[in-house]
Amino acid sequence: MSIKLAILGILSCQPSTGYDLKKIIEESTVMYWSGNNNQIYKSLVQLLEQGLVTHEVQHQESSPSKKIYTITDKGEAELKSWALTPPELPELKKSFLTQLAWADLLSPEELDNLLLAYENELNMQILLLQEKKRRGLFAPNRTTREIYLWERIDDNIVSSYRHELNWVREIRQELKRG
């Protein structure tokens, strides 16, 4: 799945500039791209070429000109047909597991410190996600069903990290017991 579809999705809720999209994607817990300029501005050019969006240049006195992008009918059709596409499995890339796989070289204290460090990272990540959710920069609420879905989507990520947290806590406890 490409970032272009996420961009189309956002534009289906509101016309936006590249800069707006960057911020929305950066702040999103669900859209996992970093929100770097390179990808966004290039994607917008491509979407324009494909006729899935249009843009209107807005000159401003005391700031750089804006390009406000709007989704086209063709873009909305594309978004709809993508929604019916077979879902992809999540990509779970946990480099920590590979690290732990060869952590038997460590002393019991070093190993516990490693596990604790992971636990702390996860805790911080959960706080960060909750803070992002609290700020709630962007969320469409067109229907009650959409609101419900967005709540469950937000939960998903946080609860995945919580699950990981429980996993590491159990290991630490079991290792302490010996």
Partner DNA sequence: GGTGTCATGTAAACAGTTACATGATTTT
Partner DNA sequence: AAAATCATGTAACTGTTTACATGACACC
**Residues at the contact surface with a second copy, assessed by CB under 8 A:** 1, 5-6, 9, 12, 30-32, 79-80, 82-106, 110, 114, 117-118, 121-122, 125, 142-143, 145-146, 148-150, 152-153, 155-157, 159-161, 163-164, 167, 171, 174-175
CB 68, min distance to a second copy, A: 20
Residue 18 touches which of DNA, a second copy, none (CB < 5 to 8 A by kind)?
A: DNA
98 interacts with DNA by CB under 7 A:
no
* Site for DNA contains 150 (CB under 7 A): no
By a kind-dependent CB cut-off of 5 to 8 A, residue 157 interacts, out of a second copy, DNA, none, with a second copy
Long-range contacts of 9-17 (CB under 8 A, 24+ apart): 9/79, 10/138, 11/53, 11/69, 11/70, 11/71, 11/75, 12/71, 12/75, 12/76, 12/79, 13/138, 13/140, 13/142, 15/68, 15/69, 15/70, 15/71, 16/68, 16/69, 17/66, 17/67, 17/68, 17/69
Quick check: 17 and 68 in contact, CB under 8 A? yes
Instruction: Let me know: does 46 contact 69? Beta carbons within 8 Å.
Output: no
Asked whether 23 and 42 are in contact (CB, 8 A), the reply is: no
Task: Tell me, residue by residue from 61 to 90, as one string, x for binding to DNA by CB under 7 A and - for no binding.
Answer: -xxxxxx-----------------------
Rounded to a whole number of angstroms, the minimum distance from the CB of residue 32 to a second copy is: 5
Query: Is the Cβ of residue 93 or residue 135 nearer to DNA in the bound state?
Result: 93
Only one residue has tokens 């989507």, namely: 153
> In the complex, which residues of this chain contact DNA (CB under 7 A)?
2-3, 17-20, 22-23, 33-34, 36-39, 41-42, 44, 60, 62-67, 93
